[in-house]
Every structure is written in structure tokens, then in C-alpha cells.
Amino acid sequence: MQYSASSFFDLAIPSVEAFNAWAEKYAPDATADHICYKCADSTEFEAIRKMFEFESAFIYQSIVSKRRIALIKFLVPIKTALGSIDLLELSDQKPDNSQTSGFDHIEMNLRAAS
């Protein structure tokens, strides 16, 4: 699959819309933190990471549970009902090959009670 930042963000729209519909009841008690995309194979992981090399503020990658996980800071955040998301968690395929391609979750943080 050929990726561009624009087409990648278009793929996120249904996940963000579902999140917004669910999350509205938590505003303003929570904030959006990041969106996660899981890759079906290393080729997809490398293609998406490479696409963001010139379309991001930074990329930080490490090994977690024997697979690559990259945190990518967007140049333009994704707007949600709980604020802007400016981080993508990009996950390479799991060692057991159980993962399919797609947006997996949007993580949020609860605000501390005053």
C-alpha cells in the first residue's frame, strides 16, 4: 500500500469519529493522548515510518516486547472531542504474527480532581 500523510490521516477519520461519539461524556474530565496504528508486517511499519520522516516533528523508536514501537509527533494534530492528538504510536507486527493492520485505540488521560 502506498502511503501519504494525507491518506493516512483520512484512514483515521472513522476511528476519531467513533472516539468523539463515545468521549463527549468525559469532557472536560479527560484529555486525548495518542492514537495507535498496528501494522500487519514489517514492510508496512517501515513504509509508514518512512513517510513520516519528513512529515513529523520527531520520531522516537524503541523495542517493546520484542517488536518495534515508534512514537511520531504530528506536525498538524488530529482534533477530537477531548482535545488535540499530536502523537501516533506505530506498532510493528507482534512476534506471533497475530496483528492486523489498522487503528487500534485512542488513549486518553483523566484529569486530576481539583
Instruction: Average the pLDDT over 54-70 and give the result.
Output: 96
What DSSP letter does each residue of 18-38 carry, written as one string? HHHHHHGGGTTSEEEEEEEEE
Structurally, the chain folds into a number of domains equal to 1
Instruction: Give the whole-angstrom CA distance, residue 95 versus residue 52.
Output: 24
Q: Is residue 81 part of a domain?
A: yes
pLDDT score at 113: 63
pLDDT score at 28: 74
18: pLDDT strictly greater than 70: yes
Q: pLDDT > 70: what percent of the chain?
A: 94
pLDDT at position 29? 82
**What is the pTM assigned to this prediction?**
0.85
- Domain, as residue range, for 65: 5-109
Confirm whether 114 is domain-assigned. no
Asked if 106 and 32 count as a contact pair (C-beta separation under 8 A), the reply is yes
10: in domain: yes
Q: What is the CATH number of the domain that holds 52?
A: 3.10.180.10
The answer as to whether 42 is a domain residue is yes
Q: What is the residue whose three cell numbers read 523495542?
A: 63
